[in-house]
Structure 1
Amino acid sequence: MKKIRVNYLIILLFCLSACGKIEYTKMESPAYLRVFNNFTYNLTVENKNEQFPIFTMLIEPKFDGSGTVTGAEVIGDFLDKRDYYAPPYPSHIGNSTSVFNPEYPGKENVLVGPILNGFDLSSWAQVPSGKRRVMFVYRPKSEVPFLQLPKQLRSKVLVDTVLNLEKGEVFTLHLLQKDFNTRENGMILRQEQFHKIPLSDSLVYVNIYNMSSKGFWNANAGFKDKFERMGMLNFGIKDVMNVYYSLVNYDQGQGQWFDRAVNGHNKAFMGTIHRDTESSKVHPYFSFPVFADAGSNNISTKIWQRFFFLPPGNSLENYLHYELYNDNEGSFAIVNCFENGLVRPFADWGGAAMLPNLLVNVHSGTHNPQTFGTVNTLEIVNGKVFLTTIQRKYAPPVY
């Protein structure tokens, strides 16, 4: 009988624990924050004395008597260089192959934003609102958590400032290099507006920033890192550039892809961008239609986008000759947004930078796939281009 009583006791304790009250974490009146580390350089013989560009973010840091950080209200550790593509969902959460994080919150298991005015903010973290002291501190590239590092490795500060993170507002923070020659560093805090302005479901939106360092584009090419997927953009672009775009459809025939631009959307002028590492102003959004294919019952499309960059006063046609590419460092660049950004479209000789399509094709409801318009930001930083895509909420698949 004794054995039976013990088993009943275990069952009773299990039931009580299973029925116990679950405590949910909640943050009162949060702001929503996303952080990108835009430093692009690698350490070489020329810059071996610089700090490796990996950081720890501290909101409302705490210190001991000697001034060493001992904690913070919010800690975002292992903030590594950003990925070329920040998709419209938190793709990094659950990725345990490495502690290093290409953005914040990224892999961090923290409270995230809600669906706000139809936009999915699950890639933004909830943070305490109001005026908050925010620090970014260099850390070594090791898997040791920041607070377990020796004191001398917790003292090199990139930024120490007070930010006004207004309640309910959406912020994107960029760490960046402001001057390529002096190595001056800093940050930009951008208060996003996409969730406040009237945007159509049938349009795609994109705005563009040049956040390159002062002096990058005209620096000696030997000081610039080269990445195959960036093509001509490796050289950087001049401080003032006009932007043109084409919407490109393609037909499959004879085993190859043949490009054809959409009427009225071929090498069309979008606007002018200026290099800027100071202003937090949100750039205007440019839009174009989704153009769903009639053959898909107007549900989906394979259209992709091509962007051209060249200085004001120049003819785009004059630059679209292969023999001119290598003579125009900083004066011309192309960005293709095609499929997943890892393959090149047909007849692309390799001079264009590669990013994923701005259109999102997913299984939604009974449609598989369905094409959705998105809100996008292209950011050019020292010979690289990065894409952030924001998606409205769509119906889950019905099988």
Structure 2
Amino acid sequence: MNNMIFCAAVLLLFATGCAKVKYAKIDDPAYLRVFNNLNYKIGVDNKDEMLPFLTMLIDPQVDESGMPISAAIKGDFLDQRDPYAPPYPSHIGSGVSVNNPEYPGRENVLVGPVLNGYDLSSWAQIPSGKHRIMFMFRPKNTVPFFNLEAKLKRNVLIDTTITLDIKEVYTLHVLQKDYNTKRNGIYLRKENFQKLPLSDSMIYVNFYNMSAKGYWQADNEIKGGNVYGKGALGNGIKDDMNIFATLYKDAALNTLPTKLPGYSGKYLGRMVRNSDVLEVTPYYSFPLFADAKAGGIHTDMWQRFDFVAQGMDIAAIPYGQTDLNTDANWAPVLCFMAGKTGRNDQQNAVFVPNMIVNIHSGTYNPRSFATVNTIEVVNGNVYLTTIQRKYAPPVY
């Protein structure tokens, strides 16, 4: 028995390495997740803008000139966010790059617990209360922020205060607020999914258009909207759109998929552009096993959402419409099966992963699980964040 314990200890040492991280217990924490939504690229038309590569400082200490010299919490190398924020911390431990597509992301910090069944390991624990928070532009290199030359530590993007309540869940976004003036700011949203009586047999999704004021009206050539992969969303959508959902069974590429009965162009509600109001938008739902033939263990269902301008009839839009320039009146988003990146009949759509988590659980491989999702539209890009409940581990 002692030999077995010794061997287990040695294996654990090799698995974890020699470095030991000491975590300071946080009393009365809040839970915070941060995304950098400044998704512009530097070119001839905006060459005077700073590169959207950031450092977040919470409760910074500054010298007499106002330059930060330390901080209680630092989120460094904060890069532009990925299109998909999965329901688990996918970036921690990856040594390919120091660039961080979200906070905490790669940061080795205390994270949230399982709260009311929801996995909050993608949220960092932060002391509750009032905090000064700064976002600094920084060069895109591998030098930690406080080791940079003094002249590179003075480019302040945002300097403000936030208040975090005890054991509340927050998502903070850095955003462009006005496309024409290039004014930037933050958007702090107190989430409520962990408080709602949500069923584990239903998939939930809510929607936000957090685009800058004036983005969709701007010249398409200047904003570079007609880019492959962005679909019709690249040029933006109007400030008030209807949302329609269609559920499909999987199909081979380049073949017409099967719509599930009762879930074809189903009206969900409205999406009104707003990058300032902090309220959570309503969650819409549909059954995990809307396909009655799936059997209740695994489903190959996937989802399509159409954003349609007020007064426009979704029934008049043909399935195979491929025009990228829809005058901001319509744009489709497909939550397609993992590993399938596009369909020739949907060139104007933007693709994100399926909202259904399919994973080995118990004796089933795979098994399908429902999730809680958020789709956010920001200046021609669409982002999907997925949250899941804990599920039973595999049995081999």
- Structure 1-normalised TM-score? 0.90
Question: Structure 2 counterpart of 1:361, which letter?
Answer: N
Q: Is the 8 A contact 2:248 2:302 kept in 1?
A: yes
Tell me how far apart the structure 1 counterparts of residues 114 and 185 of structure 2 sit (CA, whole Å).
31
Query: What displacement does 1:342 show?
Result: 4.8
Q: Distance in 2 between matches of 1:74 and 1:240?
A: 38
- Report if the CA contact (8 A) 2:116-2:194 is conserved: yes
1:365 aligns with 2:362: yes
For residue 319 of structure 1, report the CA deviation from its aligned partner. 2.6
**What is the Cα-based RMSD across aligned positions, in Å?**
1.9
| Cα deviation digits, residues 67-86 of structure 1 (max 9, x gap) | 22111100000100000000
Residues 336-347 of structure 1 correspond to what in structure 2 (within 5 A)? 336-340=334-338, 342-345=340-343
Equivalent position of 1:11 in the other structure: none
| Structure-1 residue corresponding to 2:102 | 103
SS at match of 1:223: helix
8 Å CA contact retained: 1:55, 1:77: yes
Query: Does the C-alpha gap of structure 1 residues 323 and 389 become closer, same or farther in structure 2, counting only changes over 3 Å?
Result: closer
1:137-193 superposed Cα distances (whole Å, 9 cap, x missing partner)? 111111111001111211121111111111111100000001111101111000000
Checking the alignment, whether the CA contact within 8 Å between 1:60 and 1:72 is kept in structure 2 is yes
- Partner of 2:73, secondary structure, is strand
Q: CA deviation at 1:66?
A: 2.9
Distance 1:326 1:180 in 2: 21
Whether the 8 Å CA contact 2:55–2:75 is kept in 1: the answer is yes
Partner of 1:286: 284
Structure possessing the higher radius of gyration over alpha carbons: 1
**Aligned to 1:393, which of 387, 390, 393?**
390
Name the CA shift for 1:342/1:151 in 2 (closer, same or farther; >3 Å): farther
1:350 lines up with 2:347 in the alignment:
yes
Q: What's 1:86 paired with?
A: 85
2:246 alignment partner in structure 1: 246
Q: Does 1:174 align with 2:170?
A: no
Cα distance in structure 2, aligned partners of 1:143 and 1:322: 45
Cα distance in structure 2, aligned partners of 1:195 and 1:150: 43
Q: Distance in 2 between matches of 1:264 and 1:389?
A: 25
Q: Is the 8 A contact 1:335 1:355 kept in 2?
A: yes
Correspondence list, 1:89-238, <5 A:
89-226=88-225, 227-238=227-238
> Of 356, 371, 384, which aligns to 1:374?
371
What are the ranges of 5 or more consecutive residues in structure 1 without an aligned counterpart? Answer: 1-21
Counterpart Cα distance in 2 of 1:256 and 1:324: 14
Aligned mates of 2:271, 2:92 — CA distance in 1: 34
The answer (yes or no) to whether the contact 1:319–1:325 under 8 Å persists in 2 is: no
Does residue 325 (structure 1) correspond to residue 323 (structure 2)? The answer is yes
Give, as a single letter, the amino acid of the residue that structure 2 aligns with 1:152. Answer: K
User: What is the alpha-carbon distance in structure 1 between the residues aligned to residue 385 and residue 256 of structure 2?
Assistant: 28
User: What is the alpha-carbon distance in structure 1 between the residues aligned to residue 86 and residue 306 of structure 2?
Assistant: 23
Shift of 1:297: 3.8
Q: Deviations over 1:13-37 (max 9, x none)?
A: xxxxxxxxx9753111111100000
Larger deviation, residues 285-294 vs 142-151 = 285-294
Taking the TM superposition and a 5 Å limit, the aligned residue runs for 1:31-110 are 31-110=30-109
In the alignment, the residues of structure 2 paired with residue 84 and residue 354 of structure 1 have an alpha-carbon distance, to the nearest angstrom, of: 9
Quote the Cα distance in structure 2 between the aligned partners of 1:65 and 1:46.
Answer: 36
Please give the secondary structure, in 1, of the residue aligned with 2:221.
Answer: helix
Q: CA–CA distance in 2 between the matches of 1:341 and 1:225? A: 27
Alpha-carbon offset, residue 328 of structure 1: 2.2
Q: Is the 8 A contact 1:360 1:373 kept in 2?
A: yes
Matching residue of 1:270: 268
**Unaligned residue ranges in structure 2 (runs of 5+):** 1-20
Q: Deviations over 1:7-60 (max 9, x none)?
A: xxxxxxxxxxxxxxx975311111110000001100001111111111111111
Amino acid at match of 1:218: Q
**Structure 2: distance between partners of 1:68 and 1:288:** 50
The share of aligned pairs that are identical, in percent, is 51
Amino acid at match of 2:27: E
